[in-house]
Every structure is written in structure tokens, then in C-alpha cells.
Amino acid sequence: MLTDLQKEILDLKDEKNAILLAHNYQPGEIQEIADFLGDSLELCIKASEIEAKDLVVFCGVDFMAETAYILNPNKKIVIPDIEAECPMAHMLSSDEVKESKEKHPDAAVVLYVNSLVDAKAEADILCTSANALKIVESLNEDKILFGPDNNLANFVAKQTNKEIIPIPDGGHCYIHTMFHKGDTAFAKEKYPNAEIIVHPECNNEVQENADYVLSTGGMINHVKESDNNEFIIGTEIDLITRLNREIPDKNFYPLLDEAICKTMKLHSLEKVKNSLLNEKFEISVPEDVSKKSLNAVQRMIDVSK
Ligand code: 13P
Ligand code: SF4
């Protein structure tokens, strides 16, 4: 049952002709009132399809809201807490991308959607964890500059004949790199019948010890279709909140309880209400950068559909 505050937000949302988009890592109380809940790719595709709404409230981190803006420069896109940044996206600057391009002029540039908007403007195409291999394989070039996540780069490199050059050295997610080989061994011992599913942002040793390596959307689809009843989930903790709500007859165990993305949790119901009432905090991207990065975003969506 919804709380009074959740109902108030739903009424405000109607009044403002707003849509609430939320990432799978949002806390349960926000998941419950979102119009659309998804992984980064699903959210990009959804953002590219918004037509009738006046206001978009984005509960996720900065790069997700910015991508929604790039796709909808004439709409008002707001984020409930402006400090909600993805630290990994900030590990690669546009200058570093430019320098790498100069060093490897024959390479295509594939950037993870978890990147800064200025860096995206230097990319040929974006990718997410759901489509990275497909994106790389769709390109004519045999040499690929790939950033900023080194683990996703390695995940792709293991499955393609193309040369993958990770940029920058050491780009990573501080949440997914918390998991170690010992955690998978311990979880498997505790839950011997459970499948281990981890995110491609995890270290190679964790990926190698898992049964499946999937994006958050891929994890949801997999467990829905699986005959198995028990799963060890190696990603941010609130994905399990969604799994428990949508698939109550199966059992989900976190690989680590501490896997909490702090900036994803900066959003709260109070802040969502504030962002609807005061249309804050507005996301905007300089027009030239927005136009330049749209090409890479749209190209990814076209390849993925
Ligand atoms: P997904 O696209 O798999 O939801 O991943 C986004 C993310 O930030 C992972 O940490
Ligand atoms: Fe960024 Fe990692 Fe948080 Fe995802 S979980 S938003 S990659 S810090």
C-alpha cells in the first residue's frame, strides 16, 4: 500500500504532466511510484520515446539524466538531488579521449554511457553493459578505444576478435569492485543450489567464478525465465528490492550486503516531491556539446533496437 507522501507525489506528477524515470538501484519507495524502472539502456530508449510529457524527473545518477537531456533538449529534465554523480563517469575526461584518439587514429571510440557528456561528444558510439559486445561488433573498425570501465572493456575483449584498448588505465566502479573471488566461493558454499549472477563491472576473477555476467536488466530477464529458484546477485543491493517485489516466489541473496551505491541513494521521496513542486534541479548541457554527443547516443539506440 502506498504512503500518503507517495500518493501526494503521484497527484503532483499528474498535475505537472510529469514522468518519473528511475534506475534499478533506486530505493524501494521510489521504485514503487516510478512510471518506468530500468537499466541504463532501457532508460535511454524510454527517454528517446517521451513525447507528451512536460517534465521528466530522473531518479538515477548524473550521466543518466544528462543522456535524457541530450535526447530531449526541449524538455525540462530534473534530478531530485544534484549531487547524485557516478564516480566512474568522472574518471575519464574529454582531453584523455582526444589524446587517445591522436595516439590511435585508426580506432573507433566506444564509450560506456557512464561517462561525462564532454567525453561522449568525442565518442563514435556509446554502449551500456547490456549491449557492449553488440555495439563493438557493429563497427567496421578492428581497433576500439573503450572507456571508462576497464572491467567492461575486458568482458568485451574476451568475446571479440577486435583489439580493445581500455581508457583510462584503472577506470572502475567502486561498488562492483568490492566483490572478490572469496565472496563468490563463500556465497556458493552457503547457497549451493543458487546460480551466481554478476555485473560486467565486476573484476575478472569474480566474472570467471559466476554462472552469468549480465546487466541489471539482463539479470531481471534471466531470473524470470530461469527454472532455478535461488540466485546470488552480484550488483548493487536495491536490484534485489526490485527482484523481490516482482518475483516473490524466488529467493535472491546479495553477494555482499555492503554493495550500496551512495549517490544513487541521495534521492528520497521528499526530494522527489521538491523536484516536482519546484521543478528542480534542472539538468542542462551546453548546446554544442549536446548536439555533438547526440550522434553517439542515437547511434547506440539504433544499433540496440
Ligand atoms: P545497468 O545498465 O546494468 O543498470 O548498470 C548501470 C550501472 O551504473 C551499473 O553500476
Ligand atoms: Fe556508478 Fe558504480 Fe554507482 Fe553504477 S554502481 S552508478 S557505476 S558508482
Range of the domain at 61: 4-85+264-283
Residues 238 and 99 in one domain: no
d(CA 112, CA 157): 14
Torsion of CA 130, 135, 136, 139, to 10 degrees: 180
Q: CA 104 to CA 155: how far, in whole Å?
A: 21
What confidence category does residue 253 fall into, taking pLDDT thresholds of 50, 70 and 90?
very high
Q: What is the pLDDT of residue 211?
A: 98
Query: Which residue's CA is the closest to the ligand 2 atom numbered 8?
Result: 86
Residue 15 alpha carbon to ligand 1 centre in Å: 31
pLDDT mean across residues, the chain:
97
Same domain flag for 292 and 248 = no
C-alpha cell at 250: 524466488
pLDDT at 53 > cutoff 90: no
Kindly give the pairing relationship between strand 55-59 and strand 18-23.
parallel
The whole-angstrom separation of Cα 124 and Cα 109 is 5
- Does residue 173 line the site of ligand 1, with CB under 6 A? yes
* Residues 143 and 292 both lie in one domain: yes
Query: Do 153 and 297 have their domain in common?
Result: yes
Co-location of 132 and 276 in the same domain: no
| Same domain membership, residue 138 and residue 105 | yes
pLDDT of the residue at 31: 98
For position 252, which CATH number holds?
A: 3.40.50.10800
Predicted confidence (pLDDT) per residue in 120-175, tens digit: 999 999 999 999 999 999 999 999 999 999 999 999 999 999 999 999 999 999 99
Q: What is the pLDDT of residue 52?
A: 79
Domain count, the chain: 3
CB 304 less than 6 A from any atom of ligand 1? no
The minimum-distance atom of ligand 1 relative to the CA of 200 is 3
Whether 168 and 298 share a structural domain: yes
Residue 223 · residue 243 · CB < 8 Å: yes
Q: What is the pLDDT of residues 74-107, one digit of tens each?
A: 999 999 999 999 999 999 999 999 999 999 999 9
Q: Does 115 lie in the same domain as 251?
A: no
Choice from 37, 44, 114 to test ligand 1 binding pocket (greatest atom count within 8 A of CB): 114
Please write the tens of the pLDDT for every residue from 272-302: 999 999 999 999 999 999 999 999 999 999 9
234: Cα separation from own chain's centroid: 15
User: Omega of the bond prior to 148 within 30 degrees of 0, cis?
Assistant: yes
- pLDDT number for residue 51: 85
pLDDT of residue 243: 98
What pLDDT is stored for residue 217 in this prediction? Answer: 98
What's the predicted TM-score (pTM) here?
0.97
Same domain? For 111 and 240 the reply is no
Residue 305's pLDDT is 81
Please, are residues 214 and 273 in contact by the beta-carbon 8 Å criterion? no
